[in-house]
Amino acid sequence: MKKTTIALASSVLVLSSLLAACGGKEEAAATTEDGKPVINWWGWAPQPEVGEAMAKAFNESQDDYVVKFKRLEDYEQQLQVAMLGGDGPDVIGLKEPMIPQYKDRLVPAKDYMDKAAGAGWKEKLIELGVEQTTVDGEQMAVPVGFTGQAYLMYNKTMLDKYGVTPPKTYDETIAAIDKINASGDKVIPMQLGAKDAWVGTDVFNVLSHQVAPGYIQKVLEGEAKWTDKEMVETAELWQQLFEDKVFQEGALGLATYMDGMNNFFDKKAAMWVIGSWEAHSMTTVEKRDKWNNFEDEIGFVPLPNLAGGTEQPVIASIDMALGVNKESKQQDGAAAFIAYMTQGEGQALYMEKFEMAPAVKDIEVAYEDKFTSDVERESYKILNETVKNAVAGRGIRDPKVYDTLGKELQNIAGGQDAKEALARIQAIADQGK
């Protein structure tokens, strides 16, 4: 009985602290001093200064509303608590897996976008974005931008020194690694931050499309099994890449952020397996200000085909979508801001921050003067084009399957039997049926 009382008291304290962190109803002013309705926008992204800049740009573009942005570190938990308490924002930032979770708390996109953005807004969106924001046949949010996996972010200056070009196939990858190792320099040829389960899950997903294009989608839809030979071959390839040190020794102990990032910019790694969101690291401003006048040229190419083929598929998912809170008293203002961010000037302005690839098919992004070299400009084009033509999404909507897959991939990389690990994943998938 005491344990129950203590647990209950602890829960109340946690809930109270989370509500306090979210701000509570008293924080959100309904209007500004001059009477304009305040639109509250919450998200885990973008960075605070970027979100504030986007809110400011919208506020200056019209005279009807004022958007205020709040970035929360523990976003998903704090949003959940706030929504339960009726304190949620007007505009909700959403990752793809969150959309089914909040579908009953969101206004369907068609109910406001026709008016806010005009006819034809849906046709302007990349089809994958429409698909990933749709639940049970109803589009519940509007995509802002995509991120894709997996890519090689490479230091061209270093590769030139070793006489290496970014590899596209398994044989080219091995040859590049051998050349760099033969130099005697203490440089990681191809770095993977496999300590992070999400990285392993993304890379495994890409490898599966190299081994058996599209098969993992059947598995995720329950039409095939994790234990099928196509998935076993992918898991065994994943394991072999660690055994053969295609991914560096100690990869399972390396965190992508900040260990992997610091390695790359300290020139301890020539190539880094990472996603399209790192495009901003190529910009002149970031290289100058964040990385102390980093002068080497940086580029991106899709992950080499490590399954023995030549195709280099990438996967992509909405990294941020925006939805209107059904309980918001400022739905018109929320809709106006979402239209601005996804169809209007805000889309191009945000894409110039290079955190995501556009969600709109034909959007003009001013980028030429943001990079110092042709390889960086070309890499930005490659990222956007490959994300737009991604073969599938990154998301796995069953959270238990996602978590189990991440853990089991680390076990497989560490030498455990691939078939047994896949059987454990299948058992979790069967529980969700």
Q: Which residues of 384-396 are buried (b: 16+ CB within 10 A; e: fewer)?
A: bebbbebbbbbbb
Percent of the chain at pLDDT > 70 equals 93
Region 427-431 average pLDDT: 95
Report the chain's terminal Cα–Cα distance, integer Å.
36
| pLDDT for res 30 | 83
pLDDT in tens, 332-370: 999 999 999 999 899 999 998 888 899 998 888 888 888
Strand duo 38-43 + 91-94: pairing: parallel
Region 15-34 average pLDDT: 53
CA pair distance 154, 242, nearest whole angstrom: 20
CA pair distance 192, 152, nearest whole angstrom: 10
CA pair distance 278, 385, nearest whole angstrom: 15
Q: How far is CA 77 from the centre of its chain?
A: 18
Region 12-41 average pLDDT: 61
Region 418-425 average pLDDT: 98
| pLDDT for res 29 | 53
CATH number of 2-146+319-370: 3.40.190.10
pLDDT in tens, 361-377: 888 888 888 898 999 99
CA pair distance 389, 148, nearest whole angstrom: 10
In 74-121 the beta strands, taken as DSSP E runs, fall at 91-94
Region 32-40 average pLDDT: 89
Residue 433 or 14, more confident: 433
327: three-class secondary structure by DSSP: coil
What's the DSSP call for residue 312?
Answer: -
pLDDT in tens, 268-286: 999 999 999 999 999 998 8
Structural domain spans, the chain: 2-146+319-370, 149-316+374-431
- Residue 323, pLDDT > 90, answer yes
Q: Work out the angle at residue 261's Cα, subtended by the Cα atoms of residues 255 and 262, and round it to the nearest 5 degrees.
A: 100
pLDDT classification of 245: cutoffs 50, 70, 90: very high
CATH number of 149-316+374-431: 3.40.190.10
| pLDDT for res 31 | 81
**HSE-up (13 A, CA, CB side) for residue 45:** 17
**Cα-Cα-Cα-Cα dihedral sign, residues 89, 396, 314, 126:** negative
What is the pTM assigned to this prediction? Answer: 0.85
| pLDDT for res 34 | 83
pLDDT classification of 17: cutoffs 50, 70, 90: very low
Region 49-70 average pLDDT: 96
Number of H helices, E strands in the chain: 18, 12
CA pair distance 185, 337, nearest whole angstrom: 51
**Highest mean pLDDT, choosing among 33-37, 366-370, 402-406, 428-432:** 402-406
pLDDT in tens, 87-141: 899 999 998 889 999 999 999 999 999 999 999 999 999 999 999 999 999 999 9
**Full DSSP string of 358-399:** ESBSS-----GGG-SSHHHHHHHHHHHHHHHT-SB-S--S-H
CA pair distance 175, 152, nearest whole angstrom: 16
| pLDDT for res 20 | 43
87: three-class secondary structure by DSSP: coil
What's the DSSP call for residue 379?
Answer: H
